Amino acid sequence: MISGRNLLVTGIGAGALMVPEDVAATSPQSDDARYYTEMISELREIRRAVSVDGTQAITSIRAAQRTYLKNSSRFPEFVDVGYDVFQSVVDWLVAVRQPVTINRLSDGRYTVALFASTIVLRPDFPDGYVGQGYDK
């Protein structure tokens, strides 16, 4: 048997449970209706948490990692990025409450750890640049 929460999370019952705001305000809510209303608001909060700023930059970096992984069967050690992408990664890490470990390489470039790779800031590249993964 599927629980009410699993039904909503999978999206099967989400449309059936949504009540227009004006109808919900005029009619007294039973315990079940109040429960489902709270679940819907929780799901909306989860959606907001997932769609944080920087997600597009993370998607671009994951694409570069995926390409490298398919070619060499492992993740790249480094991925070069432009300034905007680097800042988006840092903002994303803060938003999803992950540790932000910014370091410097021996040549003075800034890095941040992300997943299984190190993201290298290349201020001489265009701001939205995401390079191919590479090893030393």
> Given this model, what pLDDT does residue 33 score?
86
* pLDDT, tens digit (0-9, with 9 covering 90-100), for 7-22: 555 555 555 555 555 5
Give tens-digit pLDDT for 28-49. Answer: 567 888 888 888 888 887 766 5
At residue 3, does pLDDT exceed 70?
Answer: no
Can you give the pLDDT at residue 118?
A: 94
Work out the number of other CB atoms within 10 angstroms of the CB of residue 81.
Answer: 28
For residue 111, the model assigns a pLDDT of 95
- pLDDT (tens digit per residue) in 69-128: 999 999 999 999 999 999 999 988 888 888 899 999 999 999 999 888 999 999 999 989
What confidence score (pLDDT) does residue 46 get? 73
Q: Angle of helix 83-95 relative to helix 55-72, nearest 10 degrees?
A: 100
With beta carbons less than 8 A apart as the criterion, state whether 81 and 119 touch. yes
Domain spans, the chain: 4-50, 55-134
